[in-house]
């Protein structure tokens, strides 16, 4: 800037510099404000950065929503936990502020959550009795692929963290499911059963893998959490080599298992569970098992968390319904302050560049007490008022 005025003072220059800096600061802090959802498009946070919270879940706490998800990185190695589990907050569900890393992957090579492990599908619930936030997630140990099939737990007194890692579990070690109690003491299975044969399927239904894992605990991969109206909390997870979903009761402080659990659709090959309650009924949305590739969603209903569960088929309708609109379920979000308002939350995975994964949020409506999900290029919460 060139100054020719002889009356120009140093103090005037300071004022101009301050104003210029303020203007620059305002411009740098200006963020795109959203007033609708556009599924599958880049979703910018309040820092104008694509939201990085994959496979996530949401808790509503003290008037705000908090979205916890996997922090992905670029490239083929981006699905491992090089950073940890992130957290975002929002007042309106459209605009999200980055709250940082809630649970960081560790530098200690002896830690279960050392950088390079797998930390997937984080969910947070609040325990009123202990005034504590409890975070659970699917954990695979570094260098073991998906062989560990464990679930990790961490706690914090603050919803955004930081969370303290407590350890991991194979759920319900030394316990039979409700359906298998009293039936397994003398049960034997042939050691040479060939997978996918009728005899093998029959054995799976009768508890083949439950018996195999009885002592060390049941497998736990894709998972979600659910807190019922009476304060009881449940851990829902893919088990038995991803063949069967388990619903497991958590203990009073939500950091361990009571040993009470039930099996959903043995041999049905379900994963990516999301569970919610409406009008006294429990609803489940899940997917089939096709790796990172999408498939047709499944849904089910029960009048008790313990079942029996009735299959309702694919809740999606319209174009690409057979691929769940190229997404996989992760959570069903009840919208606060609106009656009968639920949002399907799904992920559109990008395994070659995981950080570019997209979010598919769509409204759920009900026809004859069955959930229905259809595509919208753009929508907002007013859809529930209609």
Query: pLDDT-based confidence at 32, cuts 50/70/90?
Result: confident
- The parent domain of residue 40 ranges over 36-169
Say if 286 falls within a structural domain. no
Residue 61 lies in a domain: yes
CATH code of the domain containing 61? 2.115.10.20
Helix or strand holding residue 94 (H, E): none
CA–CA dist 345, 325 (Å, integer): 12
Other C-beta atoms lying within 10 Å of the C-beta of residue 166: 14
pLDDT digits (tens, 9 = 90+) for 268-293: 999 999 999 999 999 999 999 999 99
Residue 220: CB atoms within 10 A of its CB come to 27
Q: Is residue 53 part of a domain?
A: yes
User: Which percentage of the chain shows pLDDT scores above 70?
Assistant: 92
pLDDT digits (tens, 9 = 90+) for 342-362: 999 999 999 999 999 999 999
pLDDT band, residue 31 (cuts 50/70/90)? low
Within 160-256, strands assigned E span 164-169, 223-227, 233-239, 244-250
**Burial call 111-131: b when 16+ CB within 10 Å, e when fewer:** ebbbbebbbbbbbbbbbeeee
332 in any annotated domain? no
Judged against a pLDDT cut of 60, whether residue 218 lies above it is answered with: yes
Model confidence pLDDT, tens digit, residues 245-265: 999 999 999 999 999 999 999
What's the whole-number mean pLDDT along residues 357-371? 97
Enclosing H/E stretch for 358: strand 358-367
Please give the Cα distance from 120 to 103 (Å, whole number): 12
pLDDT of residue 271: 97
Q: What is the pLDDT of residue 30?
A: 57
Report the pLDDT value the prediction gives residue 357, as an integer from 0 to 100: 97
Angle at 332 between CA 331 and CA 336, to 5 degrees: 125
How far, in Å, CA of 34 to CA of 193, rounded? 55
Residue 261 domain-assigned? Answer: no
Q: How far is CA 185 from CA 108, 207, 211, 244, in A?
A: 42, 12, 9, 21
Give the pLDDT of residue 386: 78
pLDDT value for 14: 39
Give the chain's domain count: 1
Residue 192, in any domain of the structure: no
- Residue 106 maps to a domain: yes
Is residue 67 domain-resident?
A: yes
Task: Check pLDDT > 60 for residue 22.
Answer: no
Residue 36 burial (CB count, 10 A): 13
């Amino acid at each position: 800037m060139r100054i020719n005025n002889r009356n120009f003072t140093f103090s005037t220059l300071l004022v101009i510099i301050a104003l210029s800096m303020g203007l620059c600061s305002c411009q740098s802090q200006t963020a795109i404000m959203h007033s609708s959802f556009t599924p599958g498009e880049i979703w910018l946070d309040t820092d104008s950065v694509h939201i990085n919270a994959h496979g996530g879940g949401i808790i509503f706490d003290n008037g705000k929503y908090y979205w916890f998800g996997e922090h992905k990185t670029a490239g083929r190695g981006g699905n491992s936990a090089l950073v940890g589990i992130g957290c975002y907050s929002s007042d309106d569900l459209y605009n999200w502020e980055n709250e940082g890393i809630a649970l960081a992957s560790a530098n200690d090579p002896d830690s279960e959550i050392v950088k390079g492990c797998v930390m997937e599908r984080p969910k947070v619930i609040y325990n009123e009795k202990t005034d504590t936030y409890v975070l659970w997630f699917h954990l695979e140990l570094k260098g073991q692929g998906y062989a560990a099939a464990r679930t990790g737990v961490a706690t914090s007194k603050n919803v955004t963290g930081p969370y303290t890692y407590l350890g991991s579990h194979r759920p319900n070690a030394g316990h039979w499911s409700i359906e298998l109690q009293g039936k397994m003491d003398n049960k034997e299975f042939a050691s040479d059963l060939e997978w996918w044969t009728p005899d093998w399927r029959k054995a799976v239904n009768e508890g083949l893998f439950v018996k195999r894992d009885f002592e060390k605990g049941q497998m736990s991969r894709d998972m979600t959490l659910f807190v019922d109206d009476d304060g009881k909390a449940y851990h829902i997870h893919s088990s038995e080599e991803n063949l069967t979903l388990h619903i497991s009761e958590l203990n009073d402080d939500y950091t361990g298992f009571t040993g009470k659990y039930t099996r959903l659709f043995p041999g049905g090959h379900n994963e990516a569970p999301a569970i919610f309650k409406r009008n006294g009924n429990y609803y489940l949305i899940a997917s089939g098992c096709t790796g990172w590739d999408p498939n047709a969603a499944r849904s089910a209903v029960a009048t008790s968390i313990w079942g029996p569960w009735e299959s309702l088929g694919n809740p999606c309708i319209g174009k690409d319904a057979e691929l769940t609109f190229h997404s996989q379920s992760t959570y069903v979000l009840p919208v606060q302050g609106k009656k009968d308002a639920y949002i399907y939350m799904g992920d559109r995975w990008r395994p070659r560049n995981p950080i570019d994964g997209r979010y598919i949020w769509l409204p759920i409506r009900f026809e004859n007490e069955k959930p229905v999900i259809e595509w919208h290029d753009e929508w907002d919460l007013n859809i529930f008022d209609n």
